[in-house]
Amino acid sequence: MRNLVFVALTLAACSKTEKAAPAKHAEPAPAATASGSAQPAMAHAQDGELAAKFDPANLPGPGTAPAPVAVTKELDPMWNVPLKTLKGQPAKLADFKGKALLVVNVASQCGNTPQYATLEALQKKYEAKGFTVVGFPCNQFGGQEPGTSEEIAEFCAANYGITFPIMEKSDVNGPNRNDVYKALTPIADAGGHTGDIRWNFEKFVISADGTKITRFAPKTKPDDPAVIAAVENALPR
């Protein structure tokens, strides 16, 4: 009898062990960003919605662009300001003279960073017609561009497949504002704003002949029909 009780208790214990919930696996740690901080890894350009935005065919048609600001020879020095690309190669805006330009201050950890996708779509759609985006990384807005040139280049390539030129990180406001932005910031946007850049991804569309500039606020996306109209109006004739 005592042996039967022991066997019954043993079987009951085994049954409870088999029904116990399996141990949970630890969640993977968030991926580290270029700056070393833990944040969720961004989808690569080939994935999902980003891939669709990359397709230039998905860009809307042009709308109505704001009236551009006419500029004269006072901006001529801007074209020959010595610059360096993320790879350390010498450059200047004059290298792109004769093309329509979209000059934009960029950052890798901003809520506006997905605008990189449609900037690249614009590049692909209009490059053959005489257009290029030129990016200027800047860390002055919430410390959202903390990386080195190498880290910025890697981020842009891995996440957005960027092909347009990007310059070394620099200031766009304040006493150390780079000379390109010293020339551009007095230009007013359609709402009358002049002066300091307000946040990451403020845009200046410069006509191919260098005589007209249209400024857009950071939240105005590159695929906004007004921006697309400004780009088309700026193309070489």
Q: Which residues are catalytic?
A: 110
Q: State the pairing for strand pair 212-216/100-106.
A: unpaired
Please give the full DSSP string across 145-186, using - where no structure is assigned.
--S-HHHHHHHHHHHH---S-BBPP-BSSSTTB-HHHHHHTT
Q: Considering only CA atoms, which of 129, 163, 137, 187 is closest in space to residue 34?
A: 137
The Cα 170–Cα 172 span in angstroms is 7
Q: What are the C-alpha distances in Å from 7 to residues 16, 20, 27, 41, 45?
A: 15, 20, 40, 54, 62
Q: Which residues pair with 170 in a beta bridge?
A: none
For the chain, helix (H) and strand (E) counts, in that order, are: 6, 7
The pair phi, psi for residue 215, each rounded to 5°, is -105, 140
Question: Who's near 32: CB < 8 A, 6+ residues apart?
Answer: 38, 39
